[in-house]
């Protein structure tokens, strides 16, 4: 693994190559972290999945998270769309990634779906882990609890270990957007029907931020092939709470996409 900083015209993004030898013709697994996440908060899942499947990978800290620079202009409630439409395409181009499969957790899954809706040619497939297609009451309630823990508990201290000086901005962007009256994470009716690449939507049965309605909406609206997996004994982080099952499901899904060396 090797960390690097990618200088885009208006921001600096920290990224990490995973299992990359420069000679593979296989698409790159691009890992998109959750709403308060960063590279480290994936733990060892990206490395394990890349080893298990034989695909190279890339993880990165989104703008305002981890060691990446803050937002030059706050994106407000559209932060997931802005990431998908404006930032991610520039990052992939800067890194020379011409073929990829997106693996997104929570907000990262929503970003992956938003990106897939633009039908970029290099995208082979999309895998979502606890993605948000709509804002359910259970999600807003959990985020309200997180806001309280950030203000009066130890959540700020725990997040600061990962985000440093970004911690306040990262938390406020996320919580303020989600708790804005009428907020929706994406325009599901407009975007999902434009997705033609294969989609695998994974969610824990005990997800504290959403119900199985999420994967139902994704499967019901995308234009292309979609499979859903509900993981028992699992909450909002399937890749951490049931890693073996999730790795097996993803490997089975992306295996047929393997390009011959």
Per-residue pLDDT of the chain (261 residues; tens, 9 = 90+): 679 999 999 999 999 999 887 667 889 999 999 999 999 999 999 999 999 999 999 999 999 999 999 999 999 999 999 999 999 999 999 999 989 999 999 999 999 999 999 977 799 999 999 999 999 999 999 999 999 999 999 999 999 999 999 999 999 999 999 999 999 999 999 999 999 999 999 999 999 999 999 999 999 999 999 999 999 999 999 999 999 999 999 999 999 887 554
Of 139, 128, 124, 253, nearest to 202 by C-alpha is: 128
The first and second tokens of residue 42, run together, are 């994936």
| Cα gap 256→261, rounded to integer Å | 14
Q: What is the 3-state secondary structure (H, E, C) of 147-207?
A: HHHHHHCCHHHHHHHHHHHHHHHHHHHHHHHHCCCCCCCCCHHHHHHHCCCCEEEEEECCC
The first and second tokens of residue 47, run together, are 């490395």
Domain membership of residue 109 as a residue range: 2-134+185-256
Contacts made by residues 224-229, CB under 8 angstroms, sequence distance 24+: 224/195, 224/196, 224/197, 224/198, 224/199, 225/198, 225/199, 226/198, 226/199, 226/200, 226/201, 227/199, 227/200, 227/201, 227/253, 228/200, 228/201, 228/202, 228/203, 229/200, 229/201, 229/202, 229/203
Of 168, 174, 173, 175, nearest to 147 by C-alpha is: 175
The verdict on residue 234 lying in a domain is yes
CATH number at residue 19: 3.40.50.1820
The verdict on residue 146 lying in a domain is no
Report the domain count for the chain. 1
The verdict on residue 160 lying in a domain is no
The verdict on residue 251 lying in a domain is yes
The verdict on residue 173 lying in a domain is no
The verdict on residue 244 lying in a domain is yes
The verdict on residue 159 lying in a domain is no
In terms of pTM, does the model score above 0.95? Answer: yes
The verdict on residue 250 lying in a domain is yes
């Amino acid at each position: 693994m090797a960390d690097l900083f990618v200088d885009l015209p208006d921001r600096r993004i920290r990224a990490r190559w995973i299992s990359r030898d420069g000679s593979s013709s296989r698409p790159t697994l691009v890992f998109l972290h959750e709403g308060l996440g960063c590279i480290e908060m994936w733990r060892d899942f990206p490395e394990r999945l890349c080893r298990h499947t034989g695909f190279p990978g890339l993880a990165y800290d989104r703008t305002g998270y981890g060691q990446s620079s803050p937002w030059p202009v706050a994106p407000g409630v559209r932060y997931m769309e802005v990431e998908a439409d404006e930032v991610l395409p520039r990052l992939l181009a800067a890194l020379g990634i011409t073929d990829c499969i997106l693996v997104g957790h929570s907000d990262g899954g929503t970003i992956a779906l938003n990106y897939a809706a633009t039908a970029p040619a290099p995208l082979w497939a999309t895998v979502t882990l606890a993605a948000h297609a709509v804002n359910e009451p259970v999600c807003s309630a959990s985020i309200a609890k997180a806001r309280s823990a950030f203000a009066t508990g130890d959540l700020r201290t725990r997040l600061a270990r990962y985000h440093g000086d970004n911690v306040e901005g990262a938390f406020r962007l996320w919580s303020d957007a989600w708790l804005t009256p009428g907020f929706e994470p994406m325009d599901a009716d407009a975007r999902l029907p434009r997705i033609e690449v294969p989609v695998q939507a994974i969610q824990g049965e005990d997800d504290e931020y959403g119900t199985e309605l999420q994967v139902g909406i994704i499967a019901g609206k995308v234009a292309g092939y979609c499979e859903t997996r509900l993981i028992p004994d699992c909450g909002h982080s399937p890749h951490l709470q049931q890693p073996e099952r999730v790795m097996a499901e993803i490997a089975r899904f992306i295996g047929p996409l393997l390009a011959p060396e």
